[in-house]
Amino acid sequence: MRADLLALTPDAVAALANRGLVKRAQRELDRGDGPTLVEEPDGTVLGTFADGVVARLPVGVPLVEAPCSCGAPAACRHKVATALAYRPWAESRAPAEETTEADLGAEQAWSPAGFEDEALRAALGKRVFDGARRARSRGVVVELRHGPPPAAILPSCTVRFLVPRDLGYALCDCEVANHCVHLALAVWAFRESDRDRVVELRGEAHAGVDDGPLAPARALARELLETGVAGASPALGQRFAVAREALATARQAWPTLLLEDLEATLAAYRARSARYERAAAASLLVELEARARAASADAELPAGHVLGTGEALETRLDLLRLVSLGARVDGGPGWRRARVLLCDPSSAMVLVLERAWTFEARDDFPTGAGLASRSLGGGLRLGALAHGQVVSRAVRRRANRALVFGSRAGGATSVTPQTGAWEDLPEPIRVDGAAAVAAAHAARPPRLLRPRVLAEDVHVLPVAEVLAISWDPAAQTLTADVSDGEAIYHVVRAYRAAAPAALDAIAVALSGAHGPPRFVAGEVRRHLGRVEVDPSAIACDRVIVPDLWDGEAVVVPTAPSRGVEGHPEGAVATAAGLLEDAAHGGLRALSAGWSARLRESAAALDEVGLATTGEALATVASAVDEARVSGAGWPAACDAWLAAALRVALLREQL
């Protein structure tokens, strides 16, 4: 019996071919229109169809490269149907008492760690294997998922092992697709751990992390903290360029992207743009400090994971099949931005295609519905892509999981409608319910130390029953209480001028006007002890994208405001606001009145049981007062602000 074909699941075949061919082949098999199978002595499996077409699946030949008399150059329905038909055919031929789990390819606990270097060298060839060793010597961070199927997420790609103990069915989503350096790196990473975690591969002579590349960025951040965004000199551009060059040379992707965001924030303020948010500057300064501290400490998270060492800032991908999970539209006077959320089922990632537009002040600024017909580039329309699915060979992925669609030979991009059949999406994109999300979020590292990727909190949750829908006119927020069958989560959307009809769309979708709602996709967060989802799409009998809605309006019952009185969140939010004010105006420009308000905030934190954080705030007030009087001591004030801001940021994530 062919152990490799016995182990091929429909999902694995879909990864090797495509989901459409698998569904078509399964329908044919269910109707009894499948092939007649014969297994030759050398293991070659022949699938003969009623129309005379014969698919041959030789041993050791990848499915897409196997010959078929239909003449298809790659995957075809005949090869797919033959592969899917093999297991039931083999089961029917093998006496039950003589059949073992190994014979039938049952799911077993196994790990790619079992592949020896000799097998890797034989499969990859000496040149590729030596290239993998050189890549390891430079250091690489890998996230492990033991599956099934086992998968290794590398900085630039994902390697999946679709069939146990068979390197021929290891698949990478890079341009090479298989027999690449990433395959060896993935195997070596699995040897480091027998559980899901992040590991760092290092060469024997790999030294500890040198914080030298971070030094210019940290010095620049502290100077900005002293002068504030409002007092930052336009001449800092050269300093930013020097700091980015040092980080890029050291291949530290996350601080590099962080500096890009910080410089963009300063530019937005100088341009008096509505895109500027004072909270953003403070958050970026805190994140840079957090990553620098964590990278220099002997912590559980590898330094390479914290800094994004080895992350390619941009990677060209092989054939990519994406399923849209909707879109988000935001903006202010004179500008709009659309983000389409695209799930890659093969790597279990959510990728983002973004486009922004600016408008003259005299223009009538379009809402989400008015943007639906606009192009995102490459001939892709926002509305079609947000509601559909896409197949492309002309895709580049940035380190933060942003997508760039381009053009190249044979690189056509096609968009087709979808029905919202999200039950087939892999974990952790599709989750069983609120409890699974809460457990996963509680176990992960703080946001300040996680990879700087877009849409990391976007998930698909099931809808068993919609219990209530209400509108809070004071907070301008729509809330729906939804049961996933075991627990309750809350669909929450605040009114936004860029997508004013989104609230109506959510109410219509969850009321069942377009068929029973089956799934909600969107950004998931924990807030005040409950799981909340800000929806980007809802799957009913069709996919509804709230931000692009142009349908009917509805009346929703009003409900009292769900405030935070008596909850620590209020005191923590006040403290965060005062620290953000300091980052905006600069520590040197703070008045005695600001110090007094910060001490009041410290006392409020103490009253709700957050005494240590309150002490950190009081220390900031004292350090700023002392520096103001002496004219020196500003480095100590910066240290105090960073320590307090780190505590507050971590607290806000936990509330």
pLDDT for the residue numbered 96: 46
Q: Report if residue 562 sits inside a domain.
A: no
Q: Report if residue 497 sits inside a domain.
A: yes
pLDDT for the residue numbered 561: 57
Highest mean pLDDT among 197-201, 250-254, 440-444, 580-584: 580-584
Residues 499, 544, single domain; the answer is: yes
Cis preceding linkage at 149, omega within 30: yes
DSSP string, 600-614: HHHHHHHHTT-HHHH
Q: With 80 as the cut, is the pLDDT of residue 107 above it?
A: no
Residues 296, 337, single domain; the answer is: no
Average pLDDT over residues 99-106: 45
Residues 446, 380, single domain; the answer is: no
Give the residue numbers spanning the domain of 438.
Answer: 434-548
> Under DSSP, is residue 158 helix (H, G, I), strand (E, B) or coil?
strand
Instruction: List pLDDT tens digits, range 401-420.
Output: 899 887 554 457 889 999 99
What DSSP character marks residue 426?
P
pLDDT band (50, 70, 90) for residue 438: confident
What DSSP character marks residue 434?
H
Q: Report if residue 427 sits inside a domain.
A: no
**What whole-number distance in Å separates Cα of residue 85 and Cα of residue 37?**
8
pLDDT for the residue numbered 219: 93
Q: Report if residue 297 sits inside a domain.
A: yes
Instruction: List pLDDT tens digits, range 332-354.
Output: 888 899 999 999 887 888 999 99
Average pLDDT over residues 113-129: 92
Average pLDDT over residues 485-506: 93
* Residue type at position 468: A
- Whether the Cβ atoms of residue 323 and residue 342 lie closer than 8 Å to each other: yes
Average pLDDT over residues 460-479: 92
C-alpha closest to that of 580 among 274, 265, 306, 273: 265
Average pLDDT over residues 145-157: 83
Residues 412, 323, single domain; the answer is: yes
- Whether the Cβ atoms of residue 201 and residue 142 lie closer than 8 Å to each other: yes
Residues 377, 333, single domain; the answer is: yes
**What whole-number distance in Å separates Cα of residue 163 and Cα of residue 88?**
17
Of the candidates 247, 272, 307, which is a domain's last residue? 307
pLDDT for the residue numbered 169: 87
pLDDT for the residue numbered 115: 93
Average pLDDT over residues 310-331: 84
Q: Report if residue 233 sits inside a domain.
A: yes
Residue 328's CATH number? 2.40.50
Q: Counting Cβ atoms within 10 Å, is residue 546 exposed (0-12), middle (13-18) or buried (19+)?
A: buried
pLDDT band (50, 70, 90) for residue 227: very high
**Which helix or strand (DSSP H or E) is residue 292 part of?**
helix 278-296
Highest mean pLDDT among 4-8, 139-143, 638-642: 638-642
**What whole-number distance in Å separates Cα of residue 219 and Cα of residue 217?**
5
94 vs 440, more confident:
440
Q: Report if residue 32 sits inside a domain.
A: yes
pLDDT for the residue numbered 579: 97
pLDDT band (50, 70, 90) for residue 166: confident
Residues 232, 296, single domain; the answer is: yes
Q: With 70 as the cut, is the pLDDT of residue 106 above it?
A: no
Residues 577, 528, single domain; the answer is: no
Q: With 90 as the cut, is the pLDDT of residue 94 above it?
A: no
Residues 410, 463, single domain; the answer is: no
Of the candidates 169, 201, 233, which is a domain's last residue? 201
Residues 134, 38, single domain; the answer is: no
Per-chain mean pLDDT for the chain: 87
Residues 230, 300, single domain; the answer is: yes
Average pLDDT over residues 231-260: 90
> Under DSSP, is residue 618 helix (H, G, I), strand (E, B) or coil?
helix
**What whole-number distance in Å separates Cα of residue 626 and Cα of residue 389?**
59
Q: Report if residue 426 sits inside a domain.
A: no
pLDDT for the residue numbered 205: 41
Residues 116, 42, single domain; the answer is: no
Instruction: List pLDDT tens digits, range 565-597.
Output: 556 888 999 999 999 999 999 999 999 999 999
What's the domain count of the chain? 6
* Residue type at position 559: A
pLDDT for the residue numbered 417: 92
Q: pLDDT > 90: what percent of the chain?
A: 52
Q: Report if residue 607 sits inside a domain.
A: yes
**What whole-number distance in Å separates Cα of residue 342 and Cα of residue 395?**
12
Whole-structure pTM value: 0.79
Residues 439, 414, single domain; the answer is: no
Of the candidates 98, 130, 152, which is a domain's last residue? 98
Average pLDDT over residues 452-457: 91
